[in-house]
Structure 1
Amino acid sequence: MPQGAFEELYEQLQRLYQEGDYPEALRLATGALEQYPDQRTSLDYWRMTMAARTGDTALTLQVLKQALERGQWYSELLLRRSPSFQPLQGNPKFEKLVSLNQGVAENEQKHAFPIFTLRPENRCRRGGPACPLLLGLHTNAGTVNSSLGFWRPAATAGWLVAAPQSSQAIWKDAYVWDDRETAEVEIQHHYATLSRNYAIDTAHTILAGHSMGGEIAIWLALRGSIEARGFLAIGPGGPYMDDLAEWEPLLRARTPRSLRGYVLVGEKDRSIPHDYIKKLVKQMNSAGIQCKLESLPEVAHDYTPAYDAAILLALKYLDA
């Protein structure tokens, strides 16, 4: 999810879209290109969709063509199913660009690393002393690197850290956990692979995640998708966090076990539902799951070293 100053712009774009002011949204997205060059792929998507909404097919095709020339790409699902692009389906020029886009996307994803590991030097090797395992899930619309800073302290403290990247791409460098059943299958596969290749203390596995990755970590832990000692959710957000009723079946059906939870939030994080997070932690404790909530002052959504000490404290609590 876009953060910081860009988040405010993103909220403006969403408001203009909901109000049907497509020309102003197009102007705003175009004007932001120089200020937010690292968000070019997202801004170009806004430009394409708003141009399409205003009937400017030529501009839509021009933005997509230039994006591909820069090495950007978008998921075929977005280009095929977005309502904004429906009038373009079958347009020969659009179809040619979609085909080129798919080739760029497939070529890049061939070289993507599905999981990144960190471990203490000369530790966690197969056949040697076992290490506790932290599985760290990245934020939505991000990559492994988007949230890797959160998990590094665990590796320095003796944990084997495994950070998988979702296979669900929306565009270049933007992978999501929207299909949680697919995410579950992938995490289970990664866990099985890690168990074969490393010495893992299976009684000390923590599911961790940032933002939507945090929501998925909680969901996987409650489902018992892998045998986890607990979960660590940092700034959790997503559809379940916005509708706490989604958690009730999982809390009722949870099999008795010593699962623990720890939720870390930044007081200045404007992107997450703080009140709902507090209510969820309370619900978990009422359901017999020991869950602690810690709020860090002067901290927002993205990683900063201010999180490090709190993360290590959380791991001690979860692994007690």
Structure 2
Amino acid sequence: MTEAAFRVLRAQVFALYNQHSYAAALALIEQQAPLFPQYESDLLFWRACLASTMGDQAGAIGWLQQAADRGLWYHERMLRDPDLDSVRGTEAFAQLQVLFQQRYAQAQAVATPQRRVWEPAGAVQGLLVALHGANGSIASDGDYWQPATAFGWRVAMLQSAQLWSPNRYHWADPAQALAELRQHLAELVPPPLTVIGGFSMGAALAVRAVLSGAVAVNRFLAVAPAIRPEQVEPLLAHADPHTRGYVVIGDLDSLSQPVQEWVVTLQQAGVPCEVEVCRGVNHDYPPDFTATVQRGLAFLAA
């Protein structure tokens, strides 16, 4: 099944979780898991969290142990999830933590930045550099950005070297993230019309990199950017006078209002920045993201 289908399942599971319907969420995962073998790591972790939340310590440890038996591991930040509090003090959990940390360290030691580039069929309009969100990858986010080639854009999907879980990555170390972004840009030799886009944590990196002047790019396309007004406002003093931004945010996203606030701040500072508020969308890509990208790139190319 595709990443888009998995995102639908995730939304359904999280909706049940938010309704405290933990048993129903677990049953849904059990029903759908055979359709998503490539997301086994996520599904086992969700099961462990749900079991722990329901007070089923044996079940929670069992799911984590199954992940260990499959050669999987989880970042220490994931293991701090409050949903695992019921098993946190157990010897079995402590042993799994040690094993997962060892596997993480081994995997992180050999992880390197990755990039995939898609070329347009005709003349190149510009370069779109895309950054995945936390717990993302080229595989998870690439299909959202690749269709921009149909509008004449060369698309470069970047993947962080910072591991979150097997085949999932994040940008939590800002210095390392910026260094990787700069290296990719140097190798891509960006044309004058270059846009840095991203989702969630990747969108926050795009906004920071462009507004701070840390990269020689003055266009950003931020989808569900995980960045707040107090983090954006200090960057304006360094912004290129020709900066333009396009922001996409769901009206159900917990960051919807703060994001719209800093967009207004940019506009008041003279930075052309449009915001597209997507109805009925939480912290995710909107359903018709290809049309959104087309609108955003048209605005940024003006």
Report TM bin, short chain.
0.7 to 0.9
2: CA distance, partners of 1:185 / 1:209: 16
Q: 1:6 is aligned with what amino acid?
A: R
Contact 1:68 1:101 in 2 (8 A): no
2:3 corresponds to which residue?
Answer: none
- From 170, 173, 193, the equivalent of 1:204 is 193
Among residues 294, 299, 302, which one is paired with 1:317 in the alignment?
Answer: 299
How far, CA to CA, are the matches of 2:230 and 2:102 in structure 1? Answer: 38
Residues 186, 66 of structure 1: alpha-carbon distance in 2 compared, 3 angstrom cutoff: same
Structure 1 unaligned spans of 5+: 17-23, 125-130
Matched, 1:192 2:189: no
1:215 alignment partner in structure 2: 204
* Residues 12-37 of structure 1: per-residue CA shift (max 9 Å, x gap): 64686xxxxxxx85x56643431442
Equivalenced residue count is 290
Query: Residue type of the partner of 1:149?
Result: D
Equivalence for 1:69: 69
Whole-angstrom CA distance in 1 between matches of 2:29 and 2:277: 34
Q: Which residue of 2 aligns with 1:6?
A: 10
Q: Equivalences for 1:61-210 in 2 at 5 Å?
A: 61-76=61-76, 78-79=78-79, 84=85, 87-88=89-90, 91=91, 94-95=94-95, 98-99=98-99, 102-103=102-103, 106=106, 110=110, 114-120=114-120, 132-195=126-189, 200-201=190-191, 203-210=192-199
The one-letter amino acid of 2:70's match is R
TM-score by length of 2: 0.76
- Match of 1:275? 257
Contact 2:127 2:194 in 1 (8 A): yes
2:27 aligns with 31
CA RMSD after TM alignment: 3.8
1:147·1:303 contact (CA, 8 Å) conserved in 2?
no
With normalisation by structure 1, the TM-score equals: 0.72
- What residue number does 1:264 align with? 248
1: CA distance, partners of 2:139 / 2:109 = 16
Given the superposition, is the C-alpha separation of residues 92 and 245 from structure 1 closer, same or farther in structure 2, using an over 3 Å criterion? closer
Change (3 A) 1:75 1:261: same
Equivalent position SS for 2:172: coil
Unpaired runs of 5+ residues, structure 2, are 1-5
Residue correspondence of structure 1 range 215-234 to structure 2 within 5 A: 215-234=204-223
From 246, 250, 264, the equivalent of 2:231 is: 246
